[in-house]
Amino acid sequence: MSKPREPGTSLTLAEQQAIDEMARMRAVEELGVLDSPPSERFDRITRMARRLLGFEHVSIAFVGQDMHRTKSRVGAVPSEYARFGSFCNVAIEESGLLVVPDATQDPRFRDSPRVAGGPRLRFYAGHALEGPGGERVGTICVADTEPREFSEEQVAILKDLALWVEEELAHSREMSDSAQVQSGLLPHALVTLEGYDAAGLLRPVRAVSGDFYDWYPVRGGAAFTLADAMGKGVPAALMAATVRATMRAGSRYDGVAAAVESAAEALDADLESARTFVTMFHAHLEEETGILRYIDAGHGLTLLVRADGTTERLASLSGLPLGVGWDSEWEQGEIEMRHGDLLISVSDGVLDGLGGALDALDLVAEAVRGAPDAKSAIAAVASLVGRFPPDDMTILAVRRTPGFRS
C-alpha cells in the first residue's frame, strides 16, 4: 500500500529555496527599501550600534536579487556590494546570526574580495532583519580590520538593535499604507457640475494630513469643504476622516448652515474627548446661477478672486471652529461666482509657509490671478509656498469658466 503524497514533501530543497527566495524578494520590494534615500531613523540606529558595540564599521543593508544595498552606514562600508560570497548573505541564509572572529581563518570568507583585498576585513558580526512576514530582508552588521571577540552581551545588543530596525520597517510600511488610504478618500473629478472646474491639493507634513478637502454633488449643484483638524500626523488625520464622513452624511440637508450645525452636534462629544477642534470652510454652489452659500467655522482663509482682478475674502466675524465648547452661530454668507471667477481656500500651512501674516493671502490672490483653470491656480500657490511647508498644506480651487457672448 503506497502512502498518500503529502503536499509539500515532494519539493526538493532547491525548489523550496527558490520559493522562499521569491517570498523574500516580494517582502523586500513591498518594504520599498532598496532604492529609498537615507533616513535619519536608520542612521540613528547605526550611530547607536557604533557607540554601544565599539566598532568603526557599521551598516544596515537590504538584500536584493544579487546585490546588498546599504540603507545606513558609518565607516568604510560601500553603498552596495555583491550578494553572493558576502558575510551578510551567509547571515541571512543560515541561522540569522553570524559571528566571524577572524575571516582569514574561515574558509568561507578567506578569499572573499573584501577580506583578501579592499578594506581587508577580519572581523564580522551580523544579525538578520525580518520583514513583517518573517522573511529575512537584510542585516545589521559591524566589522573590523582586526580579529576580535564578540561577547554574549554584544550579541544581545546587536539582536535588540535588529528588533529596533524591524520596528522602524513595520512602522514606515504602516504609515505609507495610511497615506494611501487617505489619498483614496479624496474626491475624484467633479463631472456633474457644468461650467465649472475644481481641483485640490493635499500635502501632509508627515505621512498623513490633519486637513482634508472634499466635494460632492448636492441638489442643484455641488458642495465643497476644506477643513483643518488641530495638530499634525495620525491623531489629526483620524479626526479629519471622521469630520469628512460626518459632513458627507449631512449632505442631505438643504442649507450649508444646517449641514454644519448637524455635523457640529454629531461631532461635539468626539471632539471634546479627543481634546481637539476643527476649522472649516463649507459651501454649496448653485450651478445655474453661480450663487455660493458658505459657512466659515473659524477658518478664515478663503478668497474669491474675480475675473476683473478684485478679491473678496470669504470669512465670518462670528463662526467659531467646531469643538471649542461654546455655542456658535454659523452665519451663512452668500456671494455670486461670475464667469471667470476663482474660489480658492487654503489651510494655515499655506499661511505659515508665506510668513504667517495675513498679507500672505494677497500673495495667494496675486499668484492665482489669471490662472486658466483650477488646477493651474493650485500649482501656482504650491510653487509659491515651496516644497516644504511647515504644516500640512491643503488647497481647494473652484473656477467658473468664462462666459462667451454670442
Partner 1 sequence: MESDITHRGDGVAVLALRGKLNMVTAPVVRETITALVGDGHSRVVVDLAEVPFLDSSGLGALIAGLKSARQAGGDLRIAAPSEQTRLVLRLTNMERVLTPYDTAEEAFARA
CA–CA separation, 361 and 241 (whole Å):
27
Listing DSSP states for 21-47 in one string gives HHHHHHHHHHHT-SSPPP-HHHHHHHH
CA–CA separation, 381 and 257 (whole Å):
29
Under rule CB under 8 A, residue 276 binds partner 1: yes
Binding residue for partner 1, selected from 187, 200, 300, 353, defined by CB under 8 A: 300
- Residue range at the interface with partner 1 (CB under 8 A); choices 18-26, 51-59, 84-92, 352-360: 352-360
Cell of 188: 475624484
Q: Who's near 195: CB < 8 A, 6+ residues apart? A: 287, 400, 401
The distance of closest approach from Cβ of residue 275 to partner 1 in the complex, given in angstroms and rounded to an integer, is 6
Under rule CB under 8 A, residue 282 binds partner 1: no
Binding residue for partner 1, selected from 59, 316, 345, 394, defined by CB under 8 A: 316
Give the CA radius of gyration of the chain. Answer: 29
Under rule CB under 8 A, residue 269 binds partner 1: no
Under rule CB under 8 A, residue 299 binds partner 1: yes
- Residue range at the interface with partner 1 (CB under 8 A); choices 36-44, 52-60, 166-174, 320-328: 320-328
Query: Cβ atoms within 10 A of the Cβ of 66, count?
Result: 9
Q: Look up residue 152 and give its DSSP letter.
A: H
Query: Helix (H, G, I), strand (E, B), or coil: what is residue 378?
Result: helix
CA–CA separation, 124 and 53 (whole Å):
12
Binding residue for partner 1, selected from 319, 333, 353, 389, defined by CB under 8 A: 319
> Per DSSP, what are the bridge partners of residue 346?
395
Judge contact between 138 and 61, C-beta under 8 A.
yes
Site for partner 1 in 377-406 (CB under 8 A): 391
Binding residue for partner 1, selected from 231, 290, 340, 370, defined by CB under 8 A: 231
CB closer to partner 1, 100 vs 264:
264
Query: Cβ atoms within 10 A of the Cβ of 243, count?
Result: 26
Under rule CB under 8 A, residue 228 binds partner 1: yes
The distance of closest approach from Cβ of residue 377 to partner 1 in the complex, given in angstroms and rounded to an integer, is 21
CA–CA separation, 88 and 94 (whole Å):
10
Residue type, 310: T
Under rule CB under 8 A, residue 203 binds partner 1: no
CB closer to partner 1, 64 vs 298:
298
CB closer to partner 1, 61 vs 239:
239
CB closer to partner 1, 199 vs 320:
320
- Residue range at the interface with partner 1 (CB under 8 A); choices 102-110, 261-269, 333-341, 349-357: 349-357
Least Cα distance to 319 among 330, 309, 310 occurs for: 330
Under rule CB under 8 A, residue 277 binds partner 1: yes
The distance of closest approach from Cβ of residue 303 to partner 1 in the complex, given in angstroms and rounded to an integer, is 13
Under rule CB under 8 A, residue 64 binds partner 1: no
Binding residue for partner 1, selected from 136, 148, 203, 232, defined by CB under 8 A: 232
Helices (DSSP H) in 185-252: which residue ranges?
233-249
CB closer to partner 1, 162 vs 350:
350
User: Distance between the two ends of the chain, CA-based, in angstroms?
Assistant: 93
The distance of closest approach from Cβ of residue 390 to partner 1 in the complex, given in angstroms and rounded to an integer, is 9
The distance of closest approach from Cβ of residue 230 to partner 1 in the complex, given in angstroms and rounded to an integer, is 4
CA–CA separation, 227 and 243 (whole Å):
8
The distance of closest approach from Cβ of residue 84 to partner 1 in the complex, given in angstroms and rounded to an integer, is 47
- Residue range at the interface with partner 1 (CB under 8 A); choices 26-34, 175-183, 256-264, 319-327: 319-327
Query: Cβ atoms within 10 A of the Cβ of 6, count?
Result: 7
Under rule CB under 8 A, residue 315 binds partner 1: yes
CA-based angle 289:291:293, to the nearest 5?
155
Helices (DSSP H) in 36-191: which residue ranges?
40-53, 87-93, 113-116, 152-184
Under rule CB under 8 A, residue 356 binds partner 1: yes
Under rule CB under 8 A, residue 317 binds partner 1: yes
Q: Which positions lie near partner 1, rule CB under 8 A? A: 228, 230-232, 275-277, 279, 298-301, 315-321, 324-326, 348, 352, 356-358, 391
